[in-house]
Structure 1
Amino acid sequence: MDLFGFLNVNELALAFSNLSMFPYFDMAHYIISIMSLREQPGAMEVSQRSPFACWFSSMLYCFGGAILSALMMADAPVAPLSNTTNLLLASLMWYLVFYCPLDVVYSLTSIFPLRLLLTAMKEVTRTWKVLGGVIQAGKKYKDGLFVMIAVGWAKGAGGGLISNFEQLVRGVWKPETNELLKMSYPTKVSLLGAFLFSLQQCRYLPIQTHHLIFIYTLFIVTNKIRIMMLGSSSYPFSSVESVLFKTLFVRPLTFSSMSDLTQSSAHQNHKKPNASNGSTSSRNTDQTDRKESAVNKKIN
């Protein structure tokens, strides 16, 4: 882009796109993910009752996106766990967050400035996860736009999308927390990123990959920092989302009047048989009275 050349950040964007996520950024991702699990209701009780269930839930938090995207691509769901180094690193972070003596690691990482830094580093890894899912789907389904979006979304927000399965591991069943019913912020930004990277990979978006990586990462990191510092959970495009929802998916008010007319007509039809029954019974009564009067005349 000419704007990047004008601002002299083209080399910065290119160097940023070649940034390695291992080990520091991956470590930050594991720590924040496992801390999120620990702060779930009942997670500490599970860690004391069944350490294996706690570990398995932690791995789902850490590798949920890779597992879900592997299932969507008809690969083995255990393939993401084949990297022994990453698995051992995630397991080490799990043990330190839950079982470190005197709870030193969790207390230290809960300090706001450090947690803010680790969360920002975790958001950086989200970009690589979404882009990796899009590229993986693009290699198998060339120019399959919707498949690329779905796989990139799953890889970037898979931990949230499979949250109901993870809850079952801990003995919790809350179907109302399904991410498809009410999307959280990470799920929404991952879907946005999957959409943008898929358009770029299919050449519908005229921008280079490293430029889009830099812009998207800058957006999600700064917005996440804003949310944490202000204590707000608002989505940047919530107003646009609300307008589109009200325009496309809210049923018009005229439907209610039509239902009222249908109910009133049905009520009238229900009354008609009663009226006919009343007239028939009155006619039968008149005929009976006439017969009785004729019999009385003959007797007299």
Structure 2
Amino acid sequence: MEVLDVLNLGEIAQYFSKMAMFPVFDCAYYIVSILYLKYEPGAVEVSRKSPVASWLCAMLYCFGSYILADIMLGVSPIDYFHNNSHILLASAVWYLIFFCPLNLFYKCVAFLPVKLVLVALKEVVRTRKIAAGVHHAYHAYHHGWLIMVITGYVKGKYLISPEGSIFRGHVILVFFSPTKASLYGAILFTLQEAHLLPVSKSTLICLFTLFMATTKVFMTARHSHGSPFALIESWLCHLLFGSPLGIEDDHHHSAPAAASAPLSPTKTKEELSEVTRKRKSKKAE
């Protein structure tokens, strides 16, 4: 306790939990979100042929979780769009990423060291969104633990992830690492709201943000799409459901990769998208 008192961790956590997200952290959130939109196959073509459709997609990437959470809680889904400053900031980011001369802005934010900083800042916003979603649901449904978990989960990660679905005409439900982390975070914040977790909200926000930012930066730096929870989940599934030990997801992902083509393991989705776009432009010429 004396060490904690000397470090003033409680005061640091309190200050961190009340720190304003706009404009720095929100800007990073919008940059990373729209950056991933540009990685989607066909996104650049859509932005040229129909800028309005591209802009709407960008707004869904930035604010889709707010819209879905509002619908679930019976609030008008367009309520969030009265924040003109947020809409203007997200729109400016969208324009710069897609239409900046010589693609300079995109090249700057996609540069790995810069991207790692932006990814870490985005996770700060994600944690706040999860906590805010649980808190909002708690005031509407005091004893609805499941509702609180679902709302916090939705706020942290948009359930229907447009993995190219906007441009290829289908919707895929995904459940990868950030989504799992959002779910586990929603459970923790629900337990804290129900006073079943012996920790203050500010401390939980600080610790969970640190975990999320560190994990996401590490995975981005290594171009990894795995899950930091894989080992724990494997053991829990083995104990509770008799599932075989081992990470099955790795086998599912590695088998098609080995069968298809000898692609470099360091090639990420964004790099492959860049290669695809270059090939299409050469064919058009």
- The reply to whether TM is greater than 0.5 is yes
Which one has a bigger Cα radius of gyration? 1
> Would you say the 8 A contact 1:65–1:157 is kept in 2?
yes
**Superposition deviation, residue 2 in structure 1:** 7.7
Partners of 2:227 and 2:202 lie apart in 1 by 25
Code of the aligned partner of 1:188? K
Q: Does 1:237 align with 2:210?
A: no
Query: What corresponds to 1:198 in structure 2?
Result: 190
Code of the aligned partner of 1:178? L
Q: How does 1:142-291 map to 2 (within 5 A)?
A: 142-158=142-158, 161-164=159-162, 170-175=166-171, 177-179=172-174, 183-249=175-241
**Superposition deviation, residue 58 in structure 1:** 0.4
**Superposition deviation, residue 247 in structure 1:** 4.1
Query: What corresponds to 1:28 in structure 2?
Result: 28
Structure holding more helix per residue: 1
Q: Does 1:128 align with 2:128?
A: yes
> Would you say the 8 A contact 1:37–1:43 is kept in 2?
yes
- Secondary structure of the residue aligned to 2:168 is coil
Normalising by structure 1, what TM-score? 0.77
Q: After TM superposition, where is structure 1 displaced by more than 6 Å over at least 4 residues in a row?
A: none
Partners of 2:16 and 2:133 lie apart in 1 by 19
Partners of 2:103 and 2:56 lie apart in 1 by 21
Normalising by structure 2, what TM-score? 0.80
Code of the aligned partner of 2:177? Y
Shift in alpha-carbon separation, 1:2–1:235, aligned structure 2, 3 A: farther
**Superposition deviation, residue 139 in structure 1:** 0.6
> Would you say the 8 A contact 1:64–1:162 is kept in 2?
no
- Secondary structure of the residue aligned to 2:87 is helix
Cα offsets for 1:104-143 (capped at 9, x unmatched): 1101111111111011000100111000100100011113
Code of the aligned partner of 2:104? V
**Superposition deviation, residue 232 in structure 1:** 2.3
Cα offsets for 1:143-202 (capped at 9, x unmatched): 3211110000001101xx1225x855x342344x312xxx11111111111000000000
Greater displacement, 219-228 / 232-241: 232-241
**Superposition deviation, residue 57 in structure 1:** 0.6
Partners of 1:112 and 1:72 lie apart in 2 by 37
- Secondary structure of the residue aligned to 1:134 is helix
**Superposition deviation, residue 245 in structure 1:** 2.8
- Unaligned residue ranges in structure 1 (runs of 5+): 253-300
Partners of 2:22 and 2:241 lie apart in 1 by 43
Query: What corresponds to 1:62 in structure 2?
Result: 62
Percent identity, please.
Answer: 42
Query: What corresponds to 1:262 in structure 2?
Result: none
**Superposition deviation, residue 226 in structure 1:** 1.3
> Would you say the 8 A contact 1:127–1:213 is kept in 2?
yes
> Would you say the 8 A contact 1:138–1:148 is kept in 2?
yes
Code of the aligned partner of 1:217? T
- Secondary structure of the residue aligned to 2:227 is coil
Partners of 1:83 and 1:224 lie apart in 2 by 28
Partners of 1:133 and 1:3 lie apart in 2 by 33
Q: How does 1:2-81 map to 2 (within 5 A)?
A: 4-5=4-5, 7-81=7-81
Shift in alpha-carbon separation, 1:171–1:40, aligned structure 2, 3 A: closer
Aligned length: 244
**Superposition deviation, residue 229 in structure 1:** 2.1
Cα offsets for 1:82-125 (capped at 9, x unmatched): 21110111011100110111111101111111111011000100
Partners of 1:8 and 1:228 lie apart in 2 by 31
- Secondary structure of the residue aligned to 1:143 is coil
